[in-house]
């Protein structure tokens, strides 16, 4: 579906966005390990989360759906045989987290995916899960399809070589499935929805955040200095007693979806409010970024439901400043970089984004996709080895943008098109269905008076 988009005279308003994709995947997949029912409220009806639902159903979970309320009844035993193939669609989270559960569940099956997912790296989970004792057979490039022979796994300690919540979760869920203890060490803190959900629906998972401590300087005892007592930021531990019982999960709105609409407020200097929005601190780097570049960000009605913080967020745009993005900030903005790049294109000066090599192995090569689309709009954009350099503040022309089959690229350039000079098109706009099927309805809400 090709989408025509025109510059918008009006922008602003109040919206709610669908439930958080990362949380929904975990709520669905944990039903494979739960003792009792899991009842989910505000489950987003998008392609990715439906891949997780279909996967658990294929493995024996009874799924009852009433619009966005889902009831999941775990099976007595998980049902697979050598010939079982689970299609993970476009969803990396489904594939990597499910691989962990299967690896530790002493069952065998093959995971497959669409063209994009079949190109994404699986070595990052194959290595630790194999070290734990599972057998995983992918193709020569370590990509899907991948056959997994689950085994009784061995206790395991793993320092994440790549800052990835999917890898962390895969290893933790493998340990949970196999009732063996696991310790995962993070040098950079990634999203912690798995930890919070295991604590909310079950028991026996511990996390420790390492903070700087004030110590006396060995060279000069009159001086004190702040030092990290460990060479990592966080560890997560489970034991043979850790378990998922079951219960109720109410999913907050997805901040990674809201980011597109809030970005529109930043660019247009208007105001957008999003209620019931997930505010888990491992996911709010985009709000800090908006503040840093000069936007007004107000948060009201904060409350914790089902272990996750949520609230109402209002962003008002202003004259935008330039900020370099690198290191842990890039990790925190991992899903928001395409829309951050669009904001940069509308801000005067050069924005440099570094340490973003992971974006090359998302649903598309997002660095290339962003650079190509910005250049189509007449924006100068340098493609760096691990990032982008965007010269913003010049005329942003409407263009025929390509989605590259990637929902976040389609959404980022749909927002850009609203503030471009002249009309634009998005080649395959239906890819927004992967995370937010009502994206264009929400866009109409914020562009209509």
| Contact residues: ligand S3P, CB under 6 A | 22, 25, 93, 164-166, 169, 191, 334-335, 358
Cα-atom radius of gyration of the chain, to the nearest Å? 22
Q: How far is the CB of 22 from ligand S3P (least distance, A)?
A: 3
Rounded Cα distance between 198 and 37, Å, is 14
Beta partners for 421? Answer: 397
Q: How far is the CB of 93 from ligand S3P (least distance, A)?
A: 4
Instruction: Please name the residue ranges forming H helices in 248-349.
Output: 255-268, 285-292, 327-332, 337-345
Dihedral angle of Cα 20, 433, 314, 301, to the nearest 10 degrees: -30
164 vs 257 by CB, closer to ligand S3P:
164
- Give residue for tokens 């760096």: 384
Sheet holding 424-426, edge to edge: 3-5, 424-426, 400-401
202 vs 332 by CB, closer to ligand S3P:
332
- Give residue for tokens 């065998």: 108
Q: How far is the CB of 9 from ligand S3P (least distance, A)?
A: 33
Rounded Cα distance between 197 and 26, Å, is 8
169 vs 312 by CB, closer to ligand S3P:
169
Question: Measuring CA to CA, which residue among 343, 282, 334 is closest to residue 315?
Answer: 343
Q: Which two tokens stand for residue 442?
A: 């929400």
Q: How far is the CB of 118 from ligand S3P (least distance, A)?
A: 16
First-last CA distance in the chain: 26
49 vs 399 by CB, closer to ligand S3P:
49
73 vs 207 by CB, closer to ligand S3P:
207
5 vs 333 by CB, closer to ligand S3P:
333
For residue 440, give the H/E element and its range: helix 439-447
Q: How far is the CB of 26 from ligand S3P (least distance, A)?
A: 7
Rounded Cα distance between 320 and 292, Å, is 9
Q: Which two tokens stand for residue 409?
A: 């690229």
Rounded Cα distance between 274 and 315, Å, is 9
Q: How far is the CB of 73 from ligand S3P (least distance, A)?
A: 24
For residue 149, give the H/E element and its range: strand 146-149
Q: How far is the CB of 191 from ligand S3P (least distance, A)?
A: 6
Rounded Cα distance between 242 and 51, Å, is 26
Catalytic residues: 335
Other C-beta atoms closer than 10 Å to the C-beta of 230 total 12
Rounded Cα distance between 115 and 64, Å, is 29
Q: How far is the CB of 335 from ligand S3P (least distance, A)?
A: 5
Rounded Cα distance between 263 and 443, Å, is 12
Cα 78 to Cα 36, 171, 181, 367, 379: the distances in Å are 14, 19, 21, 40, 52
266 vs 434 by CB, closer to ligand S3P:
434
333 vs 426 by CB, closer to ligand S3P:
333
């Amino acid at each position: 579906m090709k989408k025509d988009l025109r510059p918008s005279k009006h922008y602003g308003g109040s919206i709610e966005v669908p439930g958080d994709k990362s949380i929904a995947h975990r709520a669905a997949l944990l039903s494979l390990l739960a003792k009792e029912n899991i009842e989910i409220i505000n489950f987003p009806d998008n392609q990715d989360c439906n891949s997780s639902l279909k996967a658990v159903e294929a493995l024996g979970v009874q799924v009852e759906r009433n619009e966005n309320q889902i009831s999941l009844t775990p099976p007595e035993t998980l049902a697979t045989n050598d010939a079982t193939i689970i299609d993970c669609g476009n969803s990396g989270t489904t594939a990597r987290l499910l691989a962990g559960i299967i690896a530790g569940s002493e069952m065998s099956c093959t995971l497959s995916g669409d063209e994009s997912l079949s190109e994404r790296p699986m070595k990052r989970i194959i290595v630790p899960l194999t070290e734990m004792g599972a057998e995983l057979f992918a193709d020569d490039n370590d990509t899907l399809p991948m056959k997994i022979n689950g085994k009784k796994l061995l206790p395991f300690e793993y320092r994440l070589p790549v800052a990835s919540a999917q890898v962390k979760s895969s290893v933790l869920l493998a340990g949970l499935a196999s009732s063996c203890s696991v310790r995962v060490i993070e040098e950079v803190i990634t999203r912690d929805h798995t930890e919070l959900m295991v604590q909310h629906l079950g028991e026996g998972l511990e996390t420790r955040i390492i903070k700087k401590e004030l110590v006396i300087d060995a060279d000069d005892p009159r001086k004190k200095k702040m030092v990290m007592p460990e060479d990592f930021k966080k560890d997560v531990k489970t034991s043979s007693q850790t378990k998922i019982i079951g219960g109720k999960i109410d999913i907050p709105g997805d901040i990674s979806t809201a980011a597109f609409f809030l970005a529109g407020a930043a660019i247009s200097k208007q105001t957008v409010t999003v209620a019931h929005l997930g505010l888990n601190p491992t996911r709010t780097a985009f709000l800090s970024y908006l503040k840093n570049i000069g936007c007004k960000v107000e948060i009201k009605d904060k409350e914790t439901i089902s272990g996750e913080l949520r609230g109402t967020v209002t962003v008002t745009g202003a004259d935008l400043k330039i900020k370099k993005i690198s290191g842990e900030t890039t990790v925190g903005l991992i899903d928001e970089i395409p829309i951050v790049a669009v904001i940069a294109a509308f801000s005067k000066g050069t924005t440099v984004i570094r340490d973003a090599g992971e974006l090359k192995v998302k649903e598309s090569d997002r660095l290339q996709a962003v650079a190509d689309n910005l250049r189509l709009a007449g924006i100068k954009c340098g493609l760096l080895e691990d990032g982008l350099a965007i010269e913003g503040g010049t005329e942003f022309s409407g263009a025929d943008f390509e989605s590259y089959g990637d929902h976040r690229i389609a959404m980022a350039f749909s927002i850009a098109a609203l503030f471009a000079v002249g009309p634009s098109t998005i080649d395959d706009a239906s890819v927004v269905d992967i995370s937010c099927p009502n994206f264009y309805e929400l866009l109409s809400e914020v562009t209509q008076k």
